[in-house]
Each structure stands twice: as structure tokens, then as C-alpha cells.
Structure 1
């Protein structure tokens, strides 16, 4: 893992979903490497505790912006607040996201619309807002947290899988457009990860998770951070996940969907 902020010791990284899981582990990595931080999450209380922790531990500035990213106005509000304070974002980490579990005809529509807003629309909006200045200054990095769910349809989590397919496709396309600009975009595709994700999605009893040895958030964050610093476009965490993602190409879509359905069902 690259461990030095060589470009500018006072660069700023903005991280969404910063209060727990992969997001919090990324906060720790960026703080350790001397980046100033802008932290976004719903809980202002949690963010304040994190800010105090890293302000005391490292000589960095930590700004917190409590926001519910399911609100369509949130990205513009974040951008305007930073503009007013003359804070330039050099690295954008679109980590915030969540899932729902169950048959699509039975799940809650409002929750799924909020999920689409957070997982796709907010990610796209923030990227649009901050990317222009990155290109103008000739330097910048964006980490979009996708998933191994990006590579195939996902019965019982249909909307979530679709949102992550969008994130991967979007990231790869923009990465191509940005070649030669000094700006890179990386899509991080972890498999199931030890965090609060499964509990929020109410899928702790699914075969994909229950009884399985899954990667911890710290390891996923380190893999994502290293890939981001190296300018890689796509990184899949773990050999097993890489094999599963690649195997999709050798099966029919119908067969792949059936296999995913089997893995997603409750034990």
C-alpha cells in the first residue's frame, strides 16, 4: 500500500458514509497519510467524535457535514458550503450506500427510491460537481465504491445489484474520458464485508453471509486506497471474488441469475 501523500501534504479528501464500515476505515487511512478531511454521514454526533479523535491524533483539519444523502439537495448543499469556505476537494470518495433485501414486489418502494438516490444519483451528482475543478487543476482522484454485485443481476436484492452495475459502468466510462487529464477514477468492488451493511439490509440469514468467512472493512479499505493511489480503474477484493466476477462471462445470463438467487436465499 502506498503510504505517503506525495503530491501535497495539505490535500483534502471528501468521504461519504464516513461514520462506519469501509468509509470509517478509509478515513483512518487518509488521516494517517496527512490528508485534511471532509466527512459526510447522517449522524452529526458520530462525525463529531471521529473529528475530535483525528484532530488530536494527527495534524490535519477535519470538517464534518452531517447530511442525509437520500435528500436530492444534499450534493449541491455540500458543494456550496465547501465553495464558501474555499475548500478544494482533491480526492472524492463516494462510499455511502445501502441495500434492501426481499422480493421486489414485497419490498418498500420509498426505501428503494432512497437507495437509488444515495447509491447512484448522489454519487453522480457529487462526481459532476467536483470533477470540473479537478480537471481544471490537472489533478484529482475519485473512488466510487461499487460491489461484486456490479457484475450480474441479483434476485432478492434486484435494485441494489442494479445500482452497483450503474456505478461500475459509470466509473469505467468516465475513467476512459479522463485519460490524459491527470484525474483518475477507481471503482472498488468488494464482496460481502464485515460491517453494518448486512444488518441494515436485513440479510444476515442469507447463504451469502451466514456462516461465511467474509473480508473485514479494514482490508477492503486498504485494497481500495492502494488501487486509488495507483490510478487503477477497477479493483475487486479477494481471489474468490475475482474468480466469481470473471466466471460470469462463461455462463448464460439465465444460469448466472439462478446461481445468484440460490446464494441470496435464506438458510
Structure 2
């Protein structure tokens, strides 16, 4: 086989030598370019040090998406603490004002000992099944509120013990608006007009309207949800203990806890301030 550089045995021709020399120069030039590129690439690689202090040729604002994701995830709290009792008590919860749930009740919260002295009042906490609310929070709120010295345990005259099941002096019950209305009607009370709670005295149940528990009232506003829930418990249990409604005595005074504070804070031209406690000056 004959190739372009001459015969198989003879020396290459002048043209062939010239062409070969040209190819030699071309090869040298290509090698030089390759060497330069290798140096540039090596320099760039050297800048991207594994200790993270270098940067790529794209400029200092360029970030590896993987590193960015790691940074973002590192900023998130990995072990966020659950909300405290006070935080949950101050938080409104969504609930339909016209909701009627199952009509069936179950005890919540378990047993809790009476922490004080005096006459022991035993109560149970029930919650209507199907309510999208925290029954344990409600049970805790009842026990903490009633046994506060500003409440009906004031002065050691009585103390409240929660029983997990069975008989009790009364059953404080968290129920949907529709079910609350049914149970209040058993004692001749109409709670549907203002969507309120009641002590259904002809039954064992002190009814707490879940809508009010979840959403509060305009008289307290969203910033006093915690205080409103304490008032709600104290007011209705106050009825169970034989207390009647009271009115605002003078403008600027604290409202009596037995005032119908869910509905209004003004009576006979006198406007009181919201108040959760029967004995507010105890602390």
C-alpha cells in the first residue's frame, strides 16, 4: 500500500519533508495550547479548595445549590419546643359558630388531685366527641383556674379534685354550639341567641360552648383570649356554686365575674373592665 509520504522504501520527497515539518509545527502549537489550558484549569481547581475558603471562576456570589440547601436546613430549629400552656391558652382556634357535633361525651384529662384545703369539690371533665379541640388543654385549664386562689378556691374554703370517671358533684362539659343549646334547654335556658354557655342546673352538666372557648368574645378581643377562657370557667362554675348574675357597679371598675361579660361590659351606663376572677385582688 502506498501512502502520501513517498514510496515504501525510499526517503521522503522535499514536498513530503515540507509537509511533515508543517505538521510538526502544528503539533507543537497544539501541545502548547493544551498545556496552557491545563494550567488554567488546574488554577481554577486549586482555587476551589475543600476547606471552602476558595471560590470558582464564576465570582464570589456564586453558591453551590447543595451547599445553599444545607445552609437553609441548618437555619431551621431541629428541636423546636412545643408551645407552652400559656401560649396555647392565648391562641384562638377555628370553629364553626353553627357546629353541632356527635352529641356524645367522653371524659378527658384523667384524674387530678385537689391541691388545696377546705371542702373537696369533685368534678369530671367531659368533651363532646368529634370536636377538633384539645381536650387535655381544656381539662388542664379547668383544674388550674378553679384551684387558683383568685377563683372559687379562695381562702382555702374549698378545693377542686378532678375525677377520671364515675360520679362527681358536677361535670364541666366542652360541647359544640348545637349540643350546648340542647343541654341548656333541658334547664329552660336559651343559649342560641348569643351563642353562649350555661350551667344546666337540672342536669349534672356545666356546659361550655366550644365556639366561645375557641373564638372568645368581642368584649375581650383577640388579645385577652387567655383571660376570657378563665372567666368562662369561673362564671359558669359560679352558677353551679349558687351565684347569680351581677351588674357593673361603676365605670372603670373591674367587672364582677358573674357579670355576663360575653355579651356586654356596660350596665345602666356604667362600663367595667374585663375581669376573670371572683377575687381578683388575691395576687
Give the TM-score taking structure 1 as reference length: 0.29
Q: Which has the higher contact order (CA 8 A, sep 6+)?
A: 1
Structure ranking higher in helix proportion:
1
Give the TM-score taking structure 2 as reference length: 0.27
Higher-Rg structure is 2
